[in-house]
Amino acid sequence: MKKQVLGIIPKIQISFFVVFLLMACWSPAAAQGGGNPSNQPSGNRPGVAISHTIRGKVFLPSGATPDQRMRVVLEVTTGSVAGEVFTDSVGNFEFRGLPNSVYRVTVPSDNRSFETGMETVEVYGNFSRTVMIQIYLREKDSGSRVVMKDKLISAADMQDVPKAAKKAYDKGVKLAQQQKHEEALKFFEESLNAFPTYLLALNKLGEQHLALKHPAEAQAAFQKALEINPKFVLPHINMGILFTAQKQFDEAIREFEACNRIDDSYPMSHLNLGLALMSLQQPDFDRAEKELTRCIQLGGRNFVDVHKYLFNLHVRQNAMDKAAQQLEAYLSEVPEAPDAEDVRQQLQRVKKYIAQQASAVKK
C-alpha cells in the first residue's frame, strides 16, 4: 500500500514510512504468574522447540537487596509484554519457557526512591540456555520525586490462585505459545471454572479470542478482568488495541490513557496512544508527539522505529526540518539497520526539498 502526502512534499515518496496501526506487528499484551511467561514472544525458528530461562536479581540504589517483592516486566523487541513476575523477598526473579529472541527486562520506578531499571538480554541457540542478569537500580533525583496518588495494585501480587486453576492456566499458556488458540481456549475456560476471578486467565482468554477474530468475546473477557481489578493494566492495553483495530479511536485512547494513569512505564501503551491520536478524524498531533516521544524515552533503542512514526507526524504537519531530524536520529541509533540505506535516501530527498523551499522563498 502506498500513500502520497499531496501538497506537502510532491516529489518525496514516503510509502515505506506510512503509519500502520500497530496490529500488524503486535502480539497481545500478556502477563504471567509464578514465573512462567504467559505470552510467547516471536523469535523461535519453525519446528525447533527452544526453551530458555532468564534469571536475575534486583539491587536497590544502596546496594542492598529489596525487603519486599518488586515487579519485573519482560518485553520483546517489538514492544509487546511477554511476561510479568514479582521478585521474592530478597530480589530474585525468573522467566522460563522463552524462545530465541532479544528481551528487555524492566523494573518500573516506584516514583519515589529509584528510577526505572532496565537490561537487554539476547538469548539464541539450538540448546536451552539459562542467562543470569543483575539489575542495579539508580537513585531517583530528589528534585523529581513525586508521591504516588494511590498504591499500584497488581493482579499477580494480590491473587491466591488454586492449584487446579493454575495447572489448567499453564496448559493453556503452552498451547497459546504454539498458536493452538482453539485448544488453549478450553484450558483457560477450565481455569476460570475453577477460579472465576482469575485475572491472568481472563486476559489470556481474551487474547485467544482476539487471535481467532472473535472481537466481541475478547472484549467481554477484558471487560470482566477490569471489573474485577480496574488497576490491572494489561487488559487496558489489549482493549485499546482491540478498539484501534475497529477504528474506534476515542475508545482506544481512553483505554491507553487509563493504563498510563495506573502505570506509566509501558512503552507500548504510549506508542499505541500516539498512533490513535494521529488516527482521529481531527488528529491531535501535539499530544501524539508527546506520547511517541515518551515511548522512546521509556523504550530506548528497542523502540527506535518510533522515529519513523514521528517522521510521518511531522510530514503531515509540513514541519520538514523536524521530520529530517527524526530520520537522522534513527540513523544515528541504528546505522546498520536493514532499511538504513532506504532511510538515507529518504533523508536526502527531504533535505533537497527543504533546500528548494528555502531557495524559492529567497526569490
SS3 track for 264-301? CCCHHHHHHHHHHHHHCCCCCHHHHHHHHHHHHHHHHH
Which of the four pLDDT bands, split at 50, 70 and 90, describes residue 151? very low
Q: Residue 2 pLDDT more than 60?
A: no
Instruction: Please state the pTM of the whole predicted model.
Output: 0.60
Enumerate the H helices of the chain as residue ranges.
Answer: 155-158, 163-177, 181-194, 199-211, 215-228, 233-245, 249-262, 267-279, 285-299, 306-316, 320-333, 340-362
Answer whether 194's CB lies under 8 Å from 165's CB: yes
Instruction: Spell 202-217 as b/e; 16+ CB within 10 A means b.
Output: bbbbbbbbbbeebeeb
Among 2-11, 287-296, 319-328, where is mean pLDDT lowest?
2-11
Answer whether 29's CB lies under 8 Å from 74's CB: no
Residue 106 within any structural domain of the chain: yes
**What integer pLDDT is reported at residue 17 of this predicted model?**
35
Among 168-177, 178-187, 289-298, where is mean pLDDT lowest?
168-177
**What integer pLDDT is reported at residue 158 of this predicted model?**
61
**What integer pLDDT is reported at residue 298 of this predicted model?**
83
CA distance 40 to 53: 13
The residue with cell 529530517 is 324
Number of domains in the chain: 1
Which of the four pLDDT bands, split at 50, 70 and 90, describes residue 76? confident
Q: Locate 211 and state its grid cell.
A: 487471535
CATH number at residue 120: 2.60.40.10
Q: Locate 18 and state its grid cell.
A: 506510512
Q: Locate 119 and state its grid cell.
A: 537490561
Structural domain harbouring 103:
31-139
Residue 135 within any structural domain of the chain: yes
The closest of 120, 42, 128, 129 to 82, measured between CA atoms, is: 42
CA distance 4 to 12: 8
Residue 67 within any structural domain of the chain: yes
**What integer pLDDT is reported at residue 281 of this predicted model?**
95
The closest of 305, 345, 299, 351 to 325, measured between CA atoms, is: 351
| Distance in angstroms between the alpha carbons of the first and the last residue of the chain | 37
The closest of 42, 117, 40 to 78, measured between CA atoms, is: 42
Question: Which amino acid belongs to residue 5?
Answer: V
Residue 345 within any structural domain of the chain: no
Residue 119 within any structural domain of the chain: yes
CA distance 240 to 273: 8
Residue 98 within any structural domain of the chain: yes
User: What DSSP string runs through 241-254?
Assistant: HHHHHTT-HHHHHH
User: Average of pLDDT values for 222-247?
Assistant: 93
Q: What is the distance of C-alpha 38 from the center of its chain?
A: 15
| pLDDT per residue as tens digits for the range 5-39 | 323 333 333 333 333 333 233 334 443 333 333 33
Specify the 3-state DSSP secondary structure of 81: strand
